[in-house]
Chain A
Amino acid sequence: MSDAVTSGRAPRLRPTPGQTVGPFFGYALPYDRGNELVEPGTPGAVRLHGRVLDGAGRPVPDALLEIWHADPSGTAVRRSGSILRDGTFTGWGRAATDREGGYWFRTLEPGPAASTDGRRRPAMVAVAVFARGLTDRLFTRIYLPDDEDALAADPLLAGLEPERRATLVAARESDGSLRFDIRLQGEGETVFLDLGQGTPGHAPPDATPDEVHGVVRGLAAGLPSDPLDLPDPSGEIVSGVPSRA
């Protein structure tokens, strides 16, 4: 076994680098009704839509967006069924942009949720952005616009200048839909997030490259696993925050 395993510390493995999604994901990653988290006519259904634009303000027709959010009660859904949609709401969806850079989802609006510090946070949708030309995925958030008090108390939003903050809050359109444009570069550039993953990532000080390869190349079988990391195939809904110990 490697030093990383026997030292008594949790080994820290260097991540596999990301690479661009490239131009040809369109026949592989999008799938039927990937952007329809609920069926038409579902009570509470909302259309979440917008465009992805480049640094010249032109549409990005080969981007892919994924959304992941809580249900209307603010609870994360722990159910399968995101790919073969059968009416199960899973809180996850995927949409490719069209020739005008446009995307849309039909989903349920998430409710506000308790944060890891126990405080209530404004309702939001977590987003991963992929595109030809992006060397790695980007993370951002779509905050729902209606609860101004909750938005004002949010630590991320509160730390941003007004014009930067505005890039993270969806607009409520007259038809009730939510509009959220993503500007990859330049004026009005969307705030993209480092959620602790680092970009480009920083190496952990306690793992040498040899350790990493020693562990990754087949020695990790004996490492302890965390039962909280198990996706729950039973369909049970859990609202707890997983241990980060």
Chain B
Amino acid sequence: MSIHDPQAPPEVRLDAETESQTDLSTEIRASHRAYRDRRDTSGPEESVVVEETGPVRDFAPYRSSLLRHPTKDLRHADPETIELLSPVFGERDIGTLESDLTVQHGGEPIGERIVVAGRVLDGAGRPVRRQLVEIWQANAGGRYIHKRDQHPAPIDPNFTGVGRTLTDDDGWYRFTTIKPGPYPWKNHQNAWRPAHIHFSLFGTDFTQRTVTQMYFPGDPLFALDPIYQSVRDPRARDRLIAVYDHALTSHEWSTGYRWDIVLSGADRTWTEPEDDDE
């Protein structure tokens, strides 16, 4: 199932108990340095096109990727008609309470109540209207309700950590939830994920389909996390971090975070070399 699986081939069977954060951080820095050197030593023309705006697929510090990332370049294809359209979701698909993760049970969940809101835009800055946004997350103690999360942090009986909503006509979404805690995982010894909320997003066409994670500002775990750091460009990583927004904060009720999302998909006008990158 993973590199920690005893059935895995020896060349990828690594021991999470002996791999240290120091080892992992060294690998992360080496990969980032390689990217930076390539970006900074390119000519003025080329420097534009080597900026990475997303994660690299082959990022060994994220051990689960070793046997799962494609090794061949992505094949360019012009999108077909169906790929330039998106599935349609409507009010009947969504329950009215699904955007408030704090009212899904009999009592109040434990933790810091927050509002997370923002706009979903396409690459031209146009709002993505009436489209599905799904989120899932750990509770305030960093525990997922998923059966495979068995680390010794408490389940909150009043918090499932799943929400859905539709964007409005200006592309706005808004969730009320609990600030998730950091989460320990088995990538290496003493590995911790920065607090995050998973987002699943649909755009105006299928090529914009995106699943990502939103982070909170100033998290001390950013530098250590191979998933966050799989996005090697620092400006691109910054786009994954919400900002505290006092205008979304309510008196004696909840604090607020703003996170806008851009789904650019196939909708672009700039040119790039014919050959596949990476």
Q: Is B1 an interface residue (CB 8 A)?
A: yes
Q: How large is the interface on B (under 10, 10 to 19, 20 to 34, 35 or more residues)?
A: 35 or more
Q: Which residue of B lies closest to A70 (CB)?
A: B82
Residues of chain A contacted by B113 (CB below 8 angstroms): none
Interface string of A121-137 (1 = CB under 8 A from B): 10010101011111111
A200 touches B213 (CB 8 A): no
- A24-47 near B? 1/0 per residue, CB < 8 Å: 111111000000000000000000
Q: Tell whether, in the assembled complex, residue B92 and residue A14 are in contact, meaning their CB atoms are under 8 Å apart.
A: no
Q: Is the CB of A76 within 8 A of B55?
A: no
Interface centre among A14, A116, A189 (most CB of B within 10 A): A14
Pick the contact of A24: B50, B136, B270 (CB < 8 A): B136
Q: Are B136 and A29 in contact (CB under 8 A)?
A: yes
Q: Are the CB atoms of A193 and B75 closer together than 8 Å? A: yes
> How far, in angstroms, from A83 to B162 measured CA to CA in the complex?
15
Q: Which residues on the A side are within 8 Å of B145 (C-beta)?
A: 27
Q: Is the CB of A220 within 8 A of B119?
A: yes
Is the C-beta of A80 less than 8 angstroms from some C-beta in chain B? yes
A206 part of interface (Cβ distance < 8 Å): yes
Decide yes or no whether B129 CB sits under 8 A from chain A.
yes
User: Inside 8 A of A87's CB, which chain B residues have their CB?
Assistant: none
A151 located at the interface, meaning its Cβ lies under 8 Å from any Cβ of chain B in the complex: no
Chain B, residue nearest A203 (CB): B51
User: Which residues of B69-91 are within 8 A (CB) of A?
Assistant: 69-72, 74-91
Nearest CB of chain A from residue B236's CB, rounded to whole Å: 5
* Closest chain B residue to A78, Cβ basis: B88
Query: CB within 8 A of A223: which of B84, B125, B129, B263?
Result: B125
- Per the bound structure, the CA–CA distance linking A11 and B122 in Å amounts to 10
CB <8 Å contact, A13 and B123: yes
Q: Is B112 an interface residue (CB 8 A)?
A: no
CB–CB A90/B1 < 8 A: no
Residues of A within 8 A of B213 (CB): 19-20, 22
Q: Which residues between 154 and 208 of chain A lie within 8 Å of chain B, taking CB atoms?
A: 155-156, 160, 184-186, 189-206
Q: Which residue of B has the minimal Cβ distance to A13?
A: B262
Interface size on A, residues (CB 8 A): 108
User: Contact at B48–A116, with CB atoms within 8 Å?
Assistant: no
Prevailing SS type, chain B contact patch:
loop
Contact between chains at B277 and A200 (CB < 8 Å): yes
Checking B62, B87, B210, B211 against A92 with a beta-carbon cut-off of 8 angstroms, the contacting residue is B87
Number of A-B contacts (CB under 8 A): 372
Kindly list chain B residues whose C-beta atoms are within 8 Å of the C-beta of A190: 70
Q: How far apart are the CA atoms of A113 and B85 in the complex, in Å?
A: 13
User: Which of B23-31, B103-111, B200-208, B249-257 lies on the face that meets chain A?
Assistant: B200-208
Cα distance A185–B70 in the bound complex, in angstroms: 5
Q: Contacts A18-B212, A27-B136, A200-B277 hold; do A83 and B240 have CB atoms under 8 A apart?
A: no
What chain B residues lie within 8 Å of A19 (beta carbons)?
A: 55, 198, 211-213, 227-228, 230-231, 240
Chain A 53-89: CB-based contact to B (< 8 A → 1; otherwise 0): 0111010110000101110000011111111100000
Across the interface, B207 reaches (CB within 8 A) one of A58, A92, A116, A195, namely: A195
A-B contacts, 30 listed (Cβ < 8 Å): A15-B54, A15-B239, A17-B54, A21-B200, A27-B162, A28-B162, A55-B67, A68-B87, A79-B88, A81-B93, A90-B87, A113-B82, A115-B81, A126-B82, A137-B209, A139-B207, A139-B209, A156-B77, A184-B69, A185-B68, A197-B207, A197-B265, A197-B268, A202-B48, A202-B50, A205-B49, A220-B127, A231-B88, A231-B89, A241-B84
